[in-house]
Amino acid sequence: MSAHRNPPSWLSEAVLYQIYPATFADSDGDGIGDLRGVTQRLDHLSWLGVDTLWLSPCFDSTFGDGGYDVTDYLTVAPRYGTNEDADALIEAARARGMRVMFDLVPGHTSHRHPWFLEAVRNPDDHRYIWSDRIASPVRGWIPNHAARGGYYLANFYPIQPALNFGYARTDPAEPWRQPVTAPGPQANRAALREIMGHWFDRGVSGFRVDMAASLVKDDPGLVETGRLWGEMRDWIDTAYPGRILLSEWGDPGTAVPAGFHADFFLHFTGPALRSLWDNGTGSQGAWADGAPCYFDPEGRGSMATFVDAWQEADAAIDGAGHVALPTANHDFSRLTCGPRTRDMVAPAFAFQLTWPSVPVIYYGDEIGMRYVPGLPDKEGSQLDSEARQGSRTPMQWDDSANAGFSTAPPDQCYLPVDPAPDRPTVAAARADEASLLHHVRRLIALRRSTPALGATAPVRVLHRDYPFVYLRGDRHLVVVNGRATPATAPFPPTGASPLAVHGVELTPAGIAAAPFSYGVFELPEATAGVL
């Protein structure tokens, strides 16, 4: 494990925004988004107030899994532009006070990567994991029909051969279990540093690391995986101070002590995220289990699951990094999903943007874009029963063709635009001061201007039911009601000043919260330490 380190101050203050490049903005009319399109839309993101952009994979790829099957880590995929377009995006973002993060896929490559094309014929190449028989466990071993023969281990789809970072437990009877110190695993560690250094040198501020816990195989307690990332963190802090690693690990209490600057609560690791905003239907979203969640309109959930998980993670992190809290992502359903409409999700943003974590807004969530069910598979988006494509539809900019995403014929767009006649757009939302977009913008601005609402100030929960009530620092009260019925909570009269209020009142009798409401208040100085 890495020694205790403090994260860069910019990350502690950041509001991240995730972009799925294929569906964000198409600059050349081919129906697929690109980096120039992102650059052309930076003014919207600057106006919104986000300051760090995370782009899902944009490296050269066979696109059998939406770019998570990389053929060249050092080159932007031609569909998205060139390395020079990446440079221009980074510089244009910097001019607006924003940083750019890329997505790193370290655990596997495409089966068309030059490394793998060499490995399938050369038995002395150990960048990947090879066996002369179907090994145990059986799942994931793919027959190799090229000169080398045998079987290779794939992480997910057969087109994604697992890179060899070694096994924590070796066995002479299973020679494919190479130690982490073997030449192949060490070559892959060196390649990781080369890839990150290449993009750090071009101005990238960090990486979101795909499936970060999966590198070292058969690793009880993920001890060797933690050592690997601790080694990477030490190298980054020395060679590229101020750059960061954000892990797709799903266990912040383990990932941050291992060396990451932040880690997500995720849908596939523990109940914390889904206890907040799973869609409650179990059938109209990706990885939806249908269990009650706090922001279910019927109010059947509880904040206890999330708060308990967060407190456990926060204690383990001990100030060395952060929990990252996403509204959604390219795998998991959007906030507006199932029974939850865009008119119901403002309190979810109020919670995300005032809780002591790093908020990550998924593109389009700020206007209430919905998860679109029933779409066809696109580049591996249908993963078994999980229809991830419903969260990857084109960004809705305006009321022009294809919602302003692209000038291509509709049937040439990467995915269909949401066909709903009342679909939200950026243009309409900006023109409506009462829109979700303006709620989100005001909340981001409030977070930026109020250090007590950021990632590092203390939090104290005052009421776990509906409404959820908590104190940030000594004087900032937050009230969130995520259900369709009013809610009340006891609270002494304080003479508090409203900072951002939507349907919440502080009355002599206590807190009164209307349906789908939130309120952020500054308490009088005299109340400090009393509540």
Is residue 479 within 8 Å of residue 505, measured between CB atoms? Answer: no
- What is the CATH number for 489? 2.60.40.1180
Confidence of residue 160 (pLDDT cuts 50, 70, 90): very high
Burial of 318 (0-12, 13-18, 19+ CB in 10 A): exposed
Residue 133 resides in a domain: yes
Confidence of residue 134 (pLDDT cuts 50, 70, 90): confident
Those residues whose C-beta lies under 8 Å from the C-beta of residue 369, and which sit 6 or more positions away, are: 334, 336, 342, 393, 395, 396, 418, 423, 424
Residue 87 resides in a domain: yes
Question: Quick one: 132 and 274 in the same domain?
Answer: no
Question: Quick one: 187 and 42 in the same domain?
Answer: yes
Question: Quick one: 219 and 287 in the same domain?
Answer: yes
Range of 499's domain?
Answer: 459-527
Residue 364 resides in a domain: yes
Confidence of residue 1 (pLDDT cuts 50, 70, 90): very low
For 197, the token pair is 């250094």
Mean pLDDT of the chain, nearest integer: 94
Average pLDDT over residues 111-131: 97
Tell which residue, 110, 256, 109, has the closest CA to residue 191.
109
Average pLDDT over residues 474-485: 97
Residue 166 resides in a domain: no
Question: Quick one: 85 and 126 in the same domain?
Answer: no
pLDDT attached to residue 4:
63
Query: Does position 531 have pLDDT exceeding 80, yes or no?
Result: no
How many folded domains does the chain comprise? 3
Task: Report the C-alpha gap between 189 and 473 in whole angstroms.
Answer: 42
Is residue 255 within 8 Å of residue 212, measured between CB atoms? Answer: yes
Query: Does position 269 have pLDDT exceeding 50, yes or no?
Result: yes
Question: Quick one: 208 and 92 in the same domain?
Answer: yes
Q: Kindly list the distances between the CA atom of residue 41 and the CA atoms of 53, 99, 394, 412, in Å, as whole numbers in the listed order.
A: 12, 15, 14, 21
- What is the CATH number for 73? 3.20.20.80
Confidence of residue 525 (pLDDT cuts 50, 70, 90): confident
pLDDT attached to residue 209:
98
HSE value, Cβ hemisphere, 13 Å, CA-based, for 314: 17
Residue 435 resides in a domain: yes
- What does the DSSP 8-state code read for residue 395? P
Dihedrals φ, ψ of 238, to 5°? -85, -50
Average pLDDT over residues 353-376: 97
Residue 54 resides in a domain: yes
Tell which residue, 333, 342, 326, has the closest CA to residue 283.
333
Average pLDDT over residues 151-155: 96
Question: Quick one: 134 and 189 in the same domain?
Answer: no
pLDDT attached to residue 2:
45
Task: Report the C-alpha gap between 526 and 529 in whole angstroms.
Answer: 8
Residue 161 resides in a domain: no
Average pLDDT over residues 109-121: 97
Question: Quick one: 523 and 394 in the same domain?
Answer: no
Residue 395 resides in a domain: yes
pLDDT attached to residue 529:
61
Question: Quick one: 102 and 146 in the same domain?
Answer: no
Buried b (16+ CB within 10 A) or exposed e, 191-205: ebeebbeebbebebb
- What does the DSSP 8-state code read for residue 65? S
Task: Report the C-alpha gap between 450 and 442 in whole angstroms.
Answer: 12
Task: Report the C-alpha gap between 75 and 81 in whole angstroms.
Answer: 10
Question: Quick one: 374 and 273 in the same domain?
Answer: yes
Average pLDDT over residues 499-509: 96
Buried b (16+ CB within 10 A) or exposed e, 476-488: bbbbbbbbeeebb
pLDDT attached to residue 506:
96
Average pLDDT over residues 369-385: 92
Question: Quick one: 86 and 124 in the same domain?
Answer: no
Least confident of 4-18, 79-93, 111-125: 4-18
Question: Quick one: 242 and 339 in the same domain?
Answer: yes
Give 3 or 440, the one with higher predicted confidence.
440
Q: Which of 448, 471, 499 is the last residue of a domain?
A: 448
Question: Quick one: 430 and 520 in the same domain?
Answer: no
Burial of 8 (0-12, 13-18, 19+ CB in 10 A): middle
Average pLDDT over residues 313-320: 96
pLDDT attached to residue 282:
46
Q: Which of 448, 482, 498 is the last residue of a domain?
A: 448
Confidence of residue 278 (pLDDT cuts 50, 70, 90): confident
Confidence of residue 526 (pLDDT cuts 50, 70, 90): low
- Degrees to nearest 5, angle at CA 371 with 367 and 374: 145
